[in-house]
Structure 1
């Protein structure tokens, strides 16, 4: 906290205590969305995925070809 920042809100809430609680509370919203995308394959979350789409397409194609032979 800087020197000019108040320690308490107008109603008496300890600002630093709230900040500390937020730091310990777990994942942020964006972190949670990213985790969900990477662990469940959620729809519309491809922006968070590290999946190589072209590699997956190639694997599917190879699998299909192997089934035919």
Structure 2
């Protein structure tokens, strides 16, 4: 069974975007959580 690629209306490869996002580093919420933990340690 061949896996068919999914594209948005404008032609963006959905799986490629997901792959790039996984490899892009911390998310906004992960950064907020990390900063909050560091601030708590300093108190």
TM-score for both structures, normalised by structure 2: 0.68
- Count of matched residue pairs: 39
Match runs of 1:49-60 below 5 Å: 49=40
Q: Give 1:1-69 correspondences, 5 Å limit.
A: 7-39=6-38, 41=39, 49=40
Q: Which one has a bigger Cα radius of gyration?
A: 1
Mark the runs of 5 or more structure 2 residues left unpaired by the alignment: none
Q: List runs of 5+ in structure 1 lacking aligned partners.
A: 42-48, 57-69
Runs of 4+ aligned residues of structure 1 deviating over 2 Å after TM superposition are: none
RMSD, aligned α-carbons: 2.3
